[in-house]
Amino acid sequence: MTASPSVRRAVLVLLAAAALALPSAARANESAAGTKVDPGRAITSQLICPCSCGEVLSGCTCETGISLKGYVDRELKAGKDRKAIEASLVAKYGEVILGAPKAKGFNLVVWVAPFVATLLGFGIATIILSRWVRRKNALAFAPAGAAADTHPDSDPALAERRARAEAELRELKE
């Protein structure tokens, strides 16, 4: 089955919208209007506290979170950059400390799957809706005799079975 031009156009529009959303999502973490952001907070806002609280590290108030915020600040004062600090934390606690998985290897599925699933859902909905509209239009513009042929009462065998069933129901009621 081939898709109609309107379906293809809708899929292309959705793909373009998804492609435009990816770079803007990456820039969402940048500060507004070029203002300076605390580098320690910029790092800790992208990390998850490894204790059972599961809070974002910048807002975590547990002992582990406070000590990790202090660790990040000390490492920044020592001259380490963001990647080095994150690498040392990942080495100690694992990738679970990162707020989001790295977009490499199998982890790429986590980044791509929601967009693919959304596009697939829109595609399926478009196909189903276009079939419904076509079927409705086909019935609305069908010749008058064709509509009578599709009605259940037009089948004589069915009409006979229906009459027999109604007679049996009447006998049961009496």
Name the residue ranges covered by the structural domains of the chain: 5-25+37-126
What is the value of pTM for the model shown?
0.43
* Residue 57: Cβ within 10 Å count: 24
> Which pLDDT does position 153 carry in this prediction?
58
CA distance 119 to 150: 37
CA distance 163 to 3: 45
> Which pLDDT does position 95 carry in this prediction?
80
* Residues 6 or more apart whose Cβ sits within 8 Å of residue 162: none
pLDDT tens-digit readout, 121-156: 999 999 999 999 988 888 777 665 555 555 655 678
Mean pLDDT of 83-90: 88
pLDDT tens-digit readout, 6-19: 777 777 776 777 77
Helices (H), 28-155: 39-44, 63-77, 82-93, 108-140, 144-150
pLDDT band at 21 (very low <50, low <70, confident <90, very high): low
For the ranges 22-26, 58-62, 70-74, 162-166, the lowest mean pLDDT is seen at: 22-26
> Which pLDDT does position 115 carry in this prediction?
94
